[in-house]
Chains A and B, each alone.
Chain A
């Protein structure tokens, strides 16, 4: 990974927001007690949400992108910054796997019509089916979840700037619940996506009585067909399982490659 800058040079960092709720950018500032330590180690050259310093010229070391790519303009922004950055980080579910914006992927034109009528304001730009950043350019690092955990952000930044040989977790969330000894929400008839979702959040939602809805994206180890078969064997059924999975993963390339593999 060629992300590390020359030793002793402060890494130049840019933060960009595409179609998103800005929540993951806020989560960076929500690392309040560590924020200055993080900012002290980088040179934030452009961050529209937090600074009125204008967009810089030239190359940078790290570009952090929040949001899904949902217009031609945002695709161009991503392509342009990919060329200018040594290292690109996709931050949050929208950027990593399409996330909530991708729910609009099917019947996009009809949806736009239902909201704006026949005259889509030109200010909306030229719409594309919402997709993850990785479907447009190469992504070096991911900070998963909706919203991101500030601690995950710090860990990924450390990885990008200083390097690390720590491996990325790839197991499913079910393992976290086993370790938490928290029982299983499927017993209560809830459609919990921990079966196939990438671990790493500590199964926070399940701990608080709420089913996992897959915001960290699919685990590389997910056995989707077994999970669907299991859902089908319960009162939930595979259709409800699939619908739940659409919440964050409708255009997740992993999901389509898995289903293509099955066909």
Chain B
């Protein structure tokens, strides 16, 4: 007997996607993650235009990780022009990335994922049934917006972040006030880890190869080296194309990516970062994770929810320290002078949902000749299909109803926190 389950427009994710699942005689025979975004053609849109517009355009790939797209572009451009930025600029950029972690993880956990575990269509009824959780979650999301606004000028699509530095810096008093706020938010984030660890999830394991940026002695979100968890292999941004290959499939407007040497699916996310940079997590974050039973290597994709909560704790600790450093530290983030020159550069950052890569080639006239962008969700699509298969097989074997399979598959797709609008860029 053959059943086809199709799930049209998976809700509570960014972007438009369907899942179609065929089950024959109790086994899954086919899974397709059908990304149905209109083609957006960003790589061609930055082409031919001056480098000054690149990050402004690419920012619009995604509302929630706009800061990451901007910074990744700037890193690529600065590599080409040989621009050396100050430590202050680096710290401000990290704060901007972390601001988007707070926004993204809070939106994902409380608005997108939490209703799944409370049996609700949306988060809004939580305001009455679980006000502490809802209000606390909204407060974390608002805190992320506030941090992005402090550094970038507004909650999304930052204004101040340019090649060489920042056009505006927050005042000392504002930094200190913000440091107090993020410090005060930690306690709720620690509770959030426990709340999400307490939700019952199916026991499955991903077969994907975890990938994340790494750096000795630092939980790396802005850097130049990435690693795979399966064999510890590392590569630098400029060589990314030797390690990651993209391929097109007809059922998706987004391309898929895989590890070039093994042809295995890649998985990149908060969970990948926690697995690969476990030792670099701040002590309170590691403690919260360990208490919740999350220890590397954690291979259940549903645990990405818990890993995001762990990162919220980490972000609070880290941002407090960075904001205090900014308040009393020396130096400037004023854009440094540079000369336009031709060349190729690759920027790589950890966006909230995983490793983001922007490759740019710029001509002597300062115009972009070629651009290639790989977003975290592109890495994750193959692994999402594969994990959906694993989960549906397990549920079919247990004799679950179609409705149950549908519900659990929706939860799993959401646990990957896909950004389908990003993936079709």
Contacts and interface: CB of A to CB of B under 8 A. Distances in A.
B122 A112 contact: no
Contact of A48 (B11, B41, B49, B167): B11
Contacts of A147: 63, 154-157
Chain B binding site: helix, strand, loop or mixed by DSSP?
A: loop
B61 interface: yes
A210 interface: yes
A70 B53 contact: no
Contacts of B12: 48-52
A30 to B, nearest CB: 5
Contact of A124 (B39, B50, B53): B39
A123 interface: yes
A208 interface: yes
Contact of B138 (A32, A52, A99, A210): A32
B296 interface: no
Contact of B252 (A103, A123, A205): A123
Contact of B159 (A50, A99, A205): A205
Contacts of A114: 43-44, 47
B115 A52 contact: yes
Nearest to B60: A100
A74 B160 CA distance: 34
B53 A74 contact: no
A50 B248 CA distance: 29
A175 interface: no
B249 interface: yes
Nearest to B142: A32
A213 B159 CA distance: 11
Given A35-B138, A100-B60, A123-B252, A23 B38 contact: no
B96 to A, nearest CB: 13
Given A51-B11, A104-B41, A123 B153 contact: no
B41 A208 contact: no
Contacts of B45: 100, 103-104, 111
Nearest to B13: A49
B16 interface: yes
A49 B37 contact: no
A176 B145 CA distance: 25
Nearest to A35: B138
A56 B9 CA distance: 14
A206 to B, nearest CB: 10
A25 B63 contact: yes
Nearest to B152: A208
Given A50-B111, A208-B167, A23 B122 contact: no
A121 B40 CA distance: 13
Contact of A111 (B41, B56, B424): B41
B124 interface: yes
Interface in B55-69: 56-57, 60-64, 66
Most buried by B among A18, A53, A121: A121
Contacts of A209: 160, 167-168
A120 B168 contact: no
Interface in B105-122: 107, 111, 115, 121-122
Contact of A125 (B14, B36, B63, B410): B36
Nearest to B128: A36
A24 B63 contact: yes
Going nearest first, the 10 A-B pairs with the smallest beta carbon separation are: A23-B63, A209-B167, A51-B122, A52-B11, A111-B44, A124-B39, A100-B60, A208-B168, A21-B63, A124-B253
16 contacts: A17-B16, A22-B419, A30-B141, A52-B121, A74-B38, A100-B57, A104-B40, A104-B44, A108-B41, A112-B41, A146-B60, A204-B159, A208-B168, A209-B160, A243-B50, A247-B53
Given A44-B124, A51-B124, A121-B248, 15 more contacts: A19-B38, A22-B421, A32-B139, A50-B124, A104-B45, A108-B41, A111-B44, A112-B41, A114-B43, A116-B248, A117-B248, A123-B34, A127-B39, A147-B154, A247-B53
Interface of A: 17-27, 29-30, 32-33, 35-36, 39, 44, 47-53, 70-71, 73-74, 99-101, 103-104, 108, 110-112, 114-117, 119-125, 127, 146-147, 204-205, 208-210, 213, 243, 247
